[in-house]
Amino acid sequence: MPDTRAVLDHIVAQLSKLPEPKLRLVRTVVAKLGQSSKHELLRTDLFDQCFATGFEGVLQIHHALSEAPFTKDKFEWGVVQVLRGCGRKASRGPRGLAGHDVEIEGERWSLKTQADKGIRMDRLHISKFMELGKGPWKNEADLAGLRDQMLAHMKGYDRILSLRHFEQPFEAGLNHFYELVEIPKSLLAEAKKGTITMNHGSKQTPKPGYCTVDGKFQLYFDGGTERKLQIKSLMKSNCLVHATWTVADLTNKDAS
């Protein structure tokens, strides 16, 4: 990686070419990077301090320009760019195809985000784990087939990571809290022995249903027009928290 002096020289050279309105944007971003923020690296088997610090900067830049939570496409971009900057081989997966979202040193990762208003600290919810297509969907046997479709889908990647966002004043001026949680594939594979039920009284077509793994999670077969698979009440205690970040929103002026 280039040393600090070389990076600074390159930045100064590039800044000298920018018009004043763009320089004001740079000033906003630099001020945000200088604001109070923090991260905690809880596991070191997948990420290191270089990634934790770099991704903190990505989140700060995002919240220099937006109050909205980080989105999935920005999550993918941020992971790839930061890991490349840390000297690791990283690329985004094929666009528009089912399977992995990024590939990191030959390992395929599926990336998710969660930022719903009802988010809970102790459990995860994935509102769209995958699309379920146009196959048969009339009874519990069909739901078992959809469950098997999900198990086959997971063969397309090696890891599942969810970036979760909470917004509240955790500390003075720090409003956005993110945690990066890995969902073990082996955990979701337990759906193979889950209990399947269909809501036959529903007015939806097709009718929704569940595959329940007691005390761990539920697969929700979301009927109607979307035909998608959700994962509900996934207990975080059965997952791995890799890192957390706490950053200020764009209205905080502590570094101006």
Closest CA to 137 of 199, 218, 214: 199
* pLDDT for position 65: 85
DSSP per residue over 9-36, as a string? HHHHHHHTTS-HHHHHHHHHHHHHHTS-
* pLDDT for position 256: 39
| Residue ranges making up the domain that contains 168 | 22-247
- 7 inside domain: no
- 97 inside domain: yes
Question: What secondary structure letter does DSSP report for 29?
Answer: H
* pLDDT for position 14: 86
* pLDDT for position 255: 38
Overall number of domains in the chain: 1
* 3-state secondary structure at position 17: coil
- 74 inside domain: yes
The answer to whether the pTM exceeds 0.85 is yes
pLDDT along the chain (256 residues), means of 10: 78 87 83 82 97 96 89 97 97 86 97 95 96 92 97 97 88 84 98 97 94 98 91 98 89 47
* pLDDT for position 35: 74
Alpha-carbon distances, residue 26 vs 32, 71, 107, 134, 153 (angstroms): 10, 22, 35, 48, 42
* pLDDT for position 251: 59
Q: Name the one residue in this structure whose structure tokens are 């990762």.
A: 109
C-alpha R_g of the chain: 21
Side chain identity, residue 149: Q
- 100 inside domain: yes
- 57 inside domain: yes
- 255 inside domain: no
As a whole number of angstroms, the distance between CA 179 and CA 114 comes to 10
